[in-house]
Amino acid sequence: AAKASALPKPTNWFSICPFFRAERPQRGRLREHVQWNLDVIGEDFPGGDTRVLAATINVLERFGLTPGDVQIALNHRSDLETLLADHGFDQARLPKAISLVDAVAKLPEDEFRRRATELGLDESRWDAFSTLLKTRQQASDGCAMTHLQPLHDRLAELGLLDWCTYAPSLARGLAYYTGTVFEVHETAGKERAIAGGGRYDNLVELFGGPPTPAVGIAMGDVVLRLVLKDKNLLEAAEASLPRPDVFLISTGTPPAQERFETLLASLRRDDLHVRHSSRATHNVGKLLGEAGKLRARCAVILGDELAQGNVVVKDLDSGEQDDAVPVEGLADRLKQRFGKVGGP
């Protein structure tokens, strides 16, 4: 909010960082998780919404998921408010009604019906209302939401409608959402939402900034990992990460410990992707196992050979091992091995 006036419009930004919850851990919801946040600040509907949804679909595709695996449920707060008003809910109590609809999947039907009636639901319209809440329509079959037609048209132009479903009951209970709301769910219905977000045009102003349209989404790693594992895509997703060139190992001898940090920094300065263990162990077998899980190309082992100015280099693809590779010029030799620019 403090920098909103100075930021270019639109501003597209993202972050990937840890988040924490003070609650009981359960399936799909842990006390700590890593979350990807994506926001478009300063662009009105439907441009920013299209951009966020297209990026989300691109990420899902990169993980190997298809429209048959996951769907993005879409709704608009104005359409939801109209639906509630048409079924007798009191205008002044719509925020509470929206929160109730957001919890529909967690409540027994009789409890939901009782609370809805207290908020003004016309009892004679319960059957129609209940049916509407369960309705889902494929976006490729046409736009089911009055306020989402412009977004529907943009998604159609990009060929993305197969990924989307219209869901009249989708509420996203947070009060700051002002327009589009969306959630990503796997189609089997076994897990919580993979991702969720929406448009929050008043939030920057609420925190003291200028009126600023904004839309965003957040995706956590916990449910995503469960879905990828269920679809046998987890190994493929992990394999899409860059391979380290080197996994550096110390056998724990004083010379190895003394040279470890210096060699680590030197190899990285020479533009090699170098990883090492954060564990206290110096068990070479265990550390080679860790290197294998990271799919490192080779392991460089610092041991007694350092007395002769050498290290051990083990090719983790072929299993071949050279027990006497000079430390002097090591980076160039490794670059030649990997076909990288540099070296004699």
What local confidence, expressed as pLDDT, does residue 212 receive?
94
CB-based contacts of 3, cutoff 8 Å, min separation 6: none
Dihedral of the alpha carbons of 95, 97, 103, 104, in degrees to the nearest 10 = -160
Looking at the chain, the number of H-run helices and the number of E-run strands are 12, 13
What local confidence, expressed as pLDDT, does residue 341 receive?
53
Q: Is 195 exposed, middle or buried (0-12, 13-18, 19+ CB in 10 A)?
A: buried
> Which tokens in the block code for residue 238?
């992990």
| Mean per-residue pLDDT of the chain | 92
- Note whether 45 and 154 are within 8 A (CB): no
- The fold of the 246-338 domain, in CATH, is Rossmann fold (3.40.50)
- Note whether 134 and 166 are within 8 A (CB): no
What local confidence, expressed as pLDDT, does residue 71 receive?
98
User: Which residues, in sequence order, are bridge partners of residue 131?
Assistant: none
Sign of CA dihedral 86, 90, 91, 97: negative
What local confidence, expressed as pLDDT, does residue 174 receive?
83
Q: Which residues of the chain have pLDDT under 50?
A: 342-344
Distance of alpha carbon 49 from alpha carbon 15, whole angstroms: 18
What local confidence, expressed as pLDDT, does residue 67 receive?
98
Q: Is 298 exposed, middle or buried (0-12, 13-18, 19+ CB in 10 A)?
A: buried
What local confidence, expressed as pLDDT, does residue 114 receive?
94
CATH assignment of 11-237? 3.30.930.10
SS (H, E, C) 255-269: HHHHHHHHHHHHHHH
- CA-to-CA separations, 225 to 20, 33, 66, 208, 290, in angstroms, rounded: 17, 11, 15, 37, 20
Name the pTM for this structure: 0.72
pLDDT tens by residue, 120-163: 998 888 999 999 888 899 999 999 899 999 999 999 999 999 99
Place of tokens 């430390």: 327
Distance of alpha carbon 84 from alpha carbon 31, whole angstroms: 35
Q: Where are the domains of the chain?
A: 11-237, 246-338
Distance of alpha carbon 240 from alpha carbon 269, whole angstroms: 24
What local confidence, expressed as pLDDT, does residue 34 receive?
93
